[in-house]
Structure 1
């Protein structure tokens, strides 16, 4: 018999088929699920109301039903557009393990390696180049050609984003589905928006020393409409010069060559990497002028014997006459 609980079942099935979606799409799915259940049972009195309170109550009911399964219907704002996004996420154990449904253990290990480089990128860039991503194959049993195919799959499935400059960063799907994993694994690298308190990997930060203000780009634009001062240190952001001084977060903060020499700890690297690094270190040191080497004893004996042989005189040859001594002119 069709009941009102079937609305939640239909809604979750629709969410699973779409993974990540905007709140507007989720509202439309909710409405269509209600219409489908009412069409199957006219006796049901279910009304659709798209206001915020009704939506929040519906999400609470869904999460209560998903709680025994260690799953959650999560919501997060997109860092670029500011739109509210929704997705069904796994809250049990190692959240990256959910990739096993579509990737092998080796491919998941490679994803973790790339994810590590993105999260620990210097200057709060939260991105790496294609070469840096492919360099992670040195620590895994995977070829670079295979890695290129897997990277393309990560982008196509919505786990990573590849910019026009060929740099990889976290996609919205990773941010919303793997957020607990990111927080537990990289607590010292996670930064939060001062306004919405969500994770920031793209945005701006205050230029004042020791000020920990970080803002999404969309949060920054909304905030500046009501205030021209930093919400933490009250620095004046009103002038154009001060606005340009704001530091960037994300790919805009990337500095050329910042990940060229990034390496894993020595104990985690193969011997070939260590030899390459030693060769690079030797090449980077200025060459010292060569010192004349001291001859060994055997070499010295050979040289002395040669000199003695060259000084021997052949008895058959006449001995050269000594030069006549020149008389010195007397001074008068």
Structure 2
């Protein structure tokens, strides 16, 4: 029967619980691989295959979600815990004190001034000494930061700042929206959370876009305007320190 849950689905799920996040290209390769090693001919295409998995995962409070990297627009597939305690669940490799540090770090990133949505490497290290009732020393703090980068929760931009990476934004989406309200902005094009990209030059206009979404939106426009207030849209009016400096190729 088409779309019947089988060993190929189960093997795909096992792989995602191990990896947690893969590019869409890798997910498609894995889709083909699990059918090869289970000697099954795919009875549904990849999107329906993932939909069948999500139907099963829903009972376990998990979901496979497709999103895009804020920095370059590359699509990813992420295994998400849809519970509100997703951060705690996803960070089970950390001790309680280290989880407290993670919360402080994410809070500092979200509440950064001027919509920077980033914290300097030194600022991130110094946060370790502010954890109560105990503190993390610099070595311990750096180990947590390195693990968060390795696991895809945060990224380290070469200008020396930490920012929320694709996995972090996707898994923490519910937590971020509930905890920070209007501080969290949505891209007007894709409707995902946006912490770096382009903004309307009018100070009280809330419109924000990912850089890659703006590339699509204004591809054929010589005089782009804001989709809400119609003010002239400057492609140079950017925000978010996680945005790469050398992204000129995006505007070809």
TM-score higher than 0.5: yes
**1:92-124 residue CA offsets vs partner (Å, 9 max, x unmatched):** 241111134311111111010010000011110
**1:27-78 residue CA offsets vs partner (Å, 9 max, x unmatched):** 1111111222226xxxxxx3366xxxx3332222111101111111111111
Change (3 A) 1:64 1:81: same
Greater strand content: 2
Does residue 99 (structure 1) correspond to residue 90 (structure 2)? The answer is yes
Does residue 56 (structure 1) correspond to residue 47 (structure 2)? The answer is yes
**1:297-331 residue CA offsets vs partner (Å, 9 max, x unmatched):** xxxxxxxxxxxxxxxxxxxxxxxxxxxxxxxxxxx
Equivalent residue for 1:131, pick from 109, 118, 122: 122
**1:222-241 residue CA offsets vs partner (Å, 9 max, x unmatched):** 1111332221112234xxxx
In the TM superposition, residue 144 of structure 1 has moved relative to its aligned partner by 2.6
CA distance in structure 2 between the aligned counterparts of 1:12 and 1:243, rounded to whole angstroms = 40
Does residue 47 (structure 1) correspond to residue 42 (structure 2)? The answer is yes
Contact (CA 8 Å) 1:34, 1:48: kept in 2 or not?
no
In structure 2, the gaps of 5 or more residues are 244-252
Equivalent residue for 1:166, pick from 151, 160, 167: 160
CA distance in structure 1 between the aligned counterparts of 2:76 and 2:11, rounded to whole angstroms = 19
In the TM superposition, residue 6 of structure 1 has moved relative to its aligned partner by 0.9
Query: Match of 2:100?
Result: 109
CA distance in structure 2 between the aligned counterparts of 1:16 and 1:126, rounded to whole angstroms = 28
Runs of 4+ that moved beyond 6 A: none
In structure 1, the gaps of 5 or more residues are 40-45, 254-332
Contact (CA 8 Å) 1:78, 1:84: kept in 2 or not?
yes
- Counterpart secondary structure, 1:168: strand
Structure of larger gyration radius = 1
Contact (CA 8 Å) 1:77, 1:83: kept in 2 or not?
yes
Equivalent residue for 1:229, pick from 225, 237, 252: 225
Change (3 A) 1:111 1:178: same
In the TM superposition, residue 220 of structure 1 has moved relative to its aligned partner by 0.9
**1:11-38 residue CA offsets vs partner (Å, 9 max, x unmatched):** 1112222221111111111111122222
Equivalent residue for 1:67, pick from 58, 61, 66: 58
CA distance in structure 2 between the aligned counterparts of 1:74 and 1:149, rounded to whole angstroms = 29
Equivalent residue for 2:207, pick from 195, 205, 213: 213
Q: TM-score, normalised by structure 1?
A: 0.66
- Counterpart secondary structure, 2:181: coil
Equivalent residue for 2:192, pick from 173, 198, 222: 198
Contact (CA 8 Å) 2:157, 2:242: kept in 1 or not?
no
Q: TM-score, normalised by structure 2?
A: 0.86
Change (3 A) 1:162 1:31: same
Equivalent residue for 2:146, pick from 145, 152, 165: 152
CA distance in structure 2 between the aligned counterparts of 1:75 and 1:10, rounded to whole angstroms = 19
Contact (CA 8 Å) 2:156, 2:163: kept in 1 or not?
yes
CA distance in structure 2 between the aligned counterparts of 1:150 and 1:86, rounded to whole angstroms = 24
How many pairs were matched up?
235
CA distance in structure 1 between the aligned counterparts of 2:210 and 2:153, rounded to whole angstroms = 20
**1:98-157 residue CA offsets vs partner (Å, 9 max, x unmatched):** 134311111111010010000011110000112322232223312233212222222222
Contact (CA 8 Å) 2:5, 2:52: kept in 1 or not?
no
- Counterpart secondary structure, 2:149: helix
